[in-house]
Every structure is written in structure tokens, then in C-alpha cells.
Structure 1
Amino acid sequence: MSSTTYDYTLTRVLDAPVENVWAAWTQPEHYARWSGAVLPSISLDVRPGGAWRATMATPDGSEFPLTGTYGEVVENERLEVIMDLPGGESTVMAVGLTADNGKTRIVLSQTCATAEARDMSEQGSGMLLDGLSAYVPTIS
């Protein structure tokens, strides 16, 4: 087994306060609006060890379930989303938030087992951040 890992990090500055960005990640009614997840499939028990699940819808209309748990949870600062993978494996996506004069700097990072998994995850995370960037300014 190889010990090589494949990492990526994406950074954005979002035009919304950190509390709104946190709410978008942690409240099902907000999460559904930007993530591609379908209500009522979303369950987010946002605490260390808490379970989450969501059924994601793709642009072609197909749906696929995602499940996992949370690792570190620091309100308005850090969220570790542990995603279940086939074969009993898992991967951790870390989301860091920093308040910046009414805006939020978000840093999303993940370590993957293969270059292909990294490339797919990075593309998916970029799409998530695009949706999040468009949605969070609308939260009032």
C-alpha cells in the first residue's frame, strides 16, 4: 500500500458574514439551497461524532446518497466533514472560516488517496464553493 497522498486546498472570500456562511453549512434549509442536496434527505447533526446524510442531485437528474460524520466542530471557525467512501474508507474535508470586515475567507482542504480522487474531489469542491458564493449573500 502506498503512503503517497494527494491534497488540494481551495480559498475564496465570500461576500457574507461568517455567521451566515456557518449557517449555510450547518442548517438543512440553507444547505439545500446551494449544495445540490435534496430536501428532505438532509440530516446534519453538527457536533463532533454527529452523523450527516444528504441525497445529492446532479444536473442530469440522477441522485446519489452521501453519508458521514463530523470531526472537529468549532462554531463559525472550523468544520471537519468526514465522508464515507465505498469499501469502508472515509475522507476528511476541512472547512476553515475567518471573518474579514463583514466578509468571510473560506479555506477548504482535503487529502485523497489517489490523484484521480483528488481531481474529482477538487472539481466537486469548486462547484460547491461556487454555489456557496452565490447563495450566502442572499441570507438575511
Structure 2
Amino acid sequence: MSTEQTSTPASGFTYTLTRTLDAPAARVWQAWTTPDQYAQWAHAAPGSVTMDVRPGGAWKSTMITPDGAEFPLTGTYTEVTENRHLVTGMDIPGRPDPTLMTMTLTEEGPRNTVITLTQTCETAEERDMAEQGSGMLLDGLEGFLGDGSGR
């Protein structure tokens, strides 16, 4: 996995995470956009994930942290290109606009897919927390795809 952080206070604080997964892009997409599969690897409370994967479609999930705390999350999808590109907006209390995370899938051969997550946050602290959470998501996804349950 490679990580890149850029700090541009005028436009926010951005991170980019990249990882190569041992699965075709369609399989990665399915794991990321199917509620029951997503719940298995994304540290979500059972039964809490709903997804309407289309531009303007809503999603929600309750994430469980390693220490057991639960965080309900909601948002909408703003861009959807099946098996290639997904922009997800996350609602942040007290903010008029959602925080956007972009996921891009690039196939490198029949069984290798590069997944890239990019997000811009308002503060360095928010970026660092979001990057840590995204890293945990990629760890879970990689484990799910690699242990056979995601195939």
C-alpha cells in the first residue's frame, strides 16, 4: 500500500491510499457495493448497511471501532461508473455539504486491481482520522477478498 498526503489549506487537506488487490475489478466493486458483503469486511454493525448505488442514491451504515464504539454514518453517491469509479458523500453534522471520498478501480491483468481512495478534509486532524479509517477499510477488504469469503 502506498500513501500520499498533501496539505493545501486553501482547498483542504487531502490523502490518497493505493493498494493492489488479488481480484478482478468487478469482484472488488461487488464487495464494496453489496450491503451484506460490505458489512462483512467494513467493520459495520450487522443489519446496518443499506445502499442505493446510483447517482443521488442514499447509503447508511453503523461502523464499529476496534474499541467497540458505534458511529452511524449516512450519505449519498454522487458519481457511479460500475466496476471503475465511485464518489461517495458522507454527511457531517453541522456542515451543509457532504465530505466526498473517491474510489477508483484500475485493472492490471485479469486478477489484479489497483484500488485508490482519495478524500479531502477541512483540517489535518480530520484528514488523519479519515485516512486511518480508510486504511482499516482497505485492510478489511483485502482480507475479505483473500480469505475466499469474498469470491
TM-score norm. by structure 2 comes to 0.88
TM-score norm. by structure 1 comes to 0.94
For residues 89-109 of structure 1, give each alpha carbon's deviation from its aligned partner in whole angstroms, at most 9, with x where no partner exists.
421000000111111100100
2:131 equivalent to 1:116:
no
Q: State the distance in 2 between where 1:106 and 1:42 align.
A: 21
Aligned to 1:66, what secondary structure does the other structure show? strand
Q: State the distance in 1 between where 2:101 and 2:145 align.
A: 20
2:90 equivalent to 1:83:
yes
2:56 equivalent to 1:49:
yes
Return 5+ residue gaps in structure 1 as ranges: none
- Measured after TM superposition, the shift of residue 41 of structure 1 is 1.1
Match of residue 99 from structure 1? 107
Aligned to 1:25, what secondary structure does the other structure show? helix
- Measured after TM superposition, the shift of residue 62 of structure 1 is 2.1
Match of residue 7 from structure 1? 14
Among 8, 23, 26, the residue aligned to 1:19: 26
How many residues of Structure 1 are paired with residues of Structure 2 in the alignment? 139
For residues 2-56 of structure 1, give each alpha carbon's deviation from its aligned partner in whole angstroms, at most 9, with x where no partner exists.
7341111000000111111001110011101110112211100000000000011
Return 5+ residue gaps in structure 2 as ranges: 1-8
Among 55, 63, 66, the residue aligned to 1:59: 66
Match of residue 36 from structure 2? 29
* Runs of 4+ that moved beyond 3 A: none
| Same amino acid, percent of matched pairs | 56
Higher fraction of helix: 1
CA RMSD of aligned residues (A): 1.2
Alignment-mate amino acid for residue 12 of structure 1: R
Aligned to 2:38, what secondary structure does the other structure show? helix
